[in-house]
């Protein structure tokens, strides 16, 4: 069983939970994922199975798209509604002010990593420091927000304001941190109520199957070839096929920087890349 399964992860499951369920379903340990979603989050989770695991890093897109529900008026230690409230006030912002502030976040910027995250300092994960009440300064990282828009009417709920945003961001962006920073910019505090990933690279929510679909065998795996549309395919003759299967360095026989090599039946064999000296060598061996 080889290919990519796109799962619509439900709330309450970790990404590891989904991997374990898929592993049990297909009776294989050769299962992984290409982008963690917190238990509170839902949506696109890309699951490579079998030989597709060998190209996992090529499936990890630089761009991801989300829809998030924002609460203005308080902040929690975890930056989402599963945490404990640590700051609060009564927000006084208009729809137009929200729209204008969202525009300010588009572009390259520095973002402070949440304390409740798996990022490590001195070999220890940040959430371990947080749970032990040990104070450390979370690191900052460079991220990019490609688009950020308000997609519904802000509403008042008790002493808070709620609204939804749609954003396209670079890999490694924490939406919880983005919402926190939006709150600060609006003179209040922000907390994430809901999060749904609707796109990761070429994979969209329309490609995703529910856990119920998968259990009922109502799914279709995406081939390695279809999952890597930006890499040109080269069909191998029998002589070259034997050399490729042995992992040999060969004289250049394709023009691109990298190529997915398949046999005459279309089966993915390897990905080769150019090296100095007008040669190509294995980058990923898929079928040997």
Mean pLDDT in residue range 93-107:
97
Query: Is residue 78 domain-shared with residue 178, that is, in the same domain?
Result: yes
Query: Is residue 12 domain-shared with residue 86, that is, in the same domain?
Result: no
Q: Which domain holds residue 152?
A: 63-188
Mean pLDDT in residue range 8-22:
96
Mean pLDDT in residue range 140-152:
96
Query: Using alpha carbons only, what angle is made at residue 236 by residues 230 and 241, rounded to the nearest 5 degrees?
Result: 120
Query: Is residue 122 domain-shared with residue 212, that is, in the same domain?
Result: no
Mean pLDDT in residue range 218-236:
95
Q: Has residue 241 been placed in a domain? A: yes
What was the pLDDT predicted at 132?
A: 84
38 is catalytic: yes
Q: Has residue 196 been placed in a domain? A: no
Half-sphere exposure of 9 (CA within 13 A, CB side): 31
Please, which pLDDT band fits residue 122 given cuts at 50, 70 and 90?
confident
Does residue 112 or residue 195 have the better pLDDT? 195
Query: Is residue 177 domain-shared with residue 270, that is, in the same domain?
Result: no
What was the pLDDT predicted at 130?
A: 81
Q: Has residue 166 been placed in a domain? A: yes
Please, which pLDDT band fits residue 183 given cuts at 50, 70 and 90?
very high
- Whether 288 has a pLDDT exceeding 80, the answer reads no
Please, which pLDDT band fits residue 123 given cuts at 50, 70 and 90?
confident
Percent of the chain at pLDDT > 90 equals 85
Over residues 156-168, the pLDDT tens digits come to: 999 999 999 999 9
Q: Give the end of a domain, one of 136, 164, 188.
A: 188
Please, which pLDDT band fits residue 190 given cuts at 50, 70 and 90?
very high
Mean pLDDT in residue range 250-258:
95
Q: Which of 6, 11, 64, 17 is nearest to 195 (CA)?
A: 11
Taken as a whole, the chain contains a residue count of 288
Give the 3-state secondary structure of the chain. CCEEEEEEECCCCCHHHHHHHHHHHHCCCCECCCCCCCCCEEEEEEEEEHHHHHHHHHHCCCEEEEEEEEEECEEECCCECCCCEEEECCCCCCHHHHHHHHHHCCEEEEEECCCCCCCEECCEEHHHHHHCCCCCCCCEEEEEEEEEEECCCCEEECCEEEEEEEEEEECCCCHHHHHHHHHHHCCCCEEEEEEEEEEECCEEHHHCECHHHHHCCCCCCECHHHHCCCCEEEECCHHHHHHHHCCCCEECCCCCCEEEEECCCCCEEEEEEEECCCEEEEEEECCC
What was the pLDDT predicted at 276?
A: 95
CATH number at 244 reads 2.30.130.10
Of residues 8, 38, 80, 207, which has the active-site annotation?
A: 38
Question: Domains in the chain: how many in total?
Answer: 3
- The chain-wide mean pLDDT, for the chain, equals 94
42-81 burial, b for 16+ CB within 10 Å, e for fewer?
bbbbbbbbbbbbbbbebbebeebbbbbbbbbbbbbebbbe
- Whether 227 has a pLDDT exceeding 80, the answer reads yes
Mean pLDDT in residue range 175-192:
97
Q: Has residue 193 been placed in a domain? A: no
Over residues 19-75, the pLDDT tens digits come to: 999 999 999 999 999 988 999 999 999 999 999 999 998 988 789 999 999 999 999
When mean pLDDT is compared across 9-23, 52-66, 199-213, 248-262, the lowest value belongs to 52-66
Does residue 58 or residue 288 have the better pLDDT? 58
What was the pLDDT predicted at 46?
A: 96
Q: Has residue 94 been placed in a domain? A: yes
Whole-number Å distance between alpha carbons of 85 and 160: 13
Question: How many CB atoms within 10 Å of residue 278?
Answer: 8
CATH number at 86 reads 3.30.2350.10
**pTM of the full structure:** 0.91
């Amino acid at each position: 069983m080889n290919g990519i399964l796109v799962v619509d992860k439900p709330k309450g499951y970790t990404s590891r939970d989904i991997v374990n369920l898929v592993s049990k379903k297909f009776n294989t340990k050769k299962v992984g994922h290409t982008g963690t979603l917190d238990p509170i989050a839902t949506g696109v989770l890309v699951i490579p199975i079998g030989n597709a695991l060998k190209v996992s890093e090529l499936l990890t897109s630089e761009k991801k798209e989300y829809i998030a529900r924002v609460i203005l008026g308080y902040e929690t230690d975890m930056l989402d509604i599963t945490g404990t409230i640590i700051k609060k006030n009564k927000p006084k912002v208009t729809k137009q002010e929200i729209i204008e502030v969202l525009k300010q976040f588009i572009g390259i910027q520095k973002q402070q990593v949440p304390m409740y995250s798996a990022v490590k300092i001195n070999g220890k994960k940040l959430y371990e420091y947080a749970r032990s009440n040990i104070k450390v300064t979370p690191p900052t990282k460079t991220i990019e927000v490609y688009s950020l828009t308000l997609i519904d009417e802000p509403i008042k709920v008790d002493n808070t304001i709620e609204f939804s945003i749609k954003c396209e961001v670079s890999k490694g962006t924490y939406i919880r941190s983005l919402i926190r920073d939006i709150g600060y910019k609006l003179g209040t505090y922000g907390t994430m109520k809901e999060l749904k990933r609707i796109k990761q690279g070429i994979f969209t929510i329309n490609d995703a199957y529910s856990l119920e679909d998968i259990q009922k065998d109502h799914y279709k795996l995406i081939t390695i070839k279809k999952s890597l549309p930006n890499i040109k395919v080269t069909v191998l003759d029998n002589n070259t096929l034997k050399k490729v299967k042995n992992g040999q360095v060969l004289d250049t026989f394709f023009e691109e920087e990298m190529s997915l090599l398949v046999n005459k039946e279309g089966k993915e064999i390897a990905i080769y890349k150019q090296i100095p000296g007008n040669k190509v060598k294995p980058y990923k061996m898929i079928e040997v």
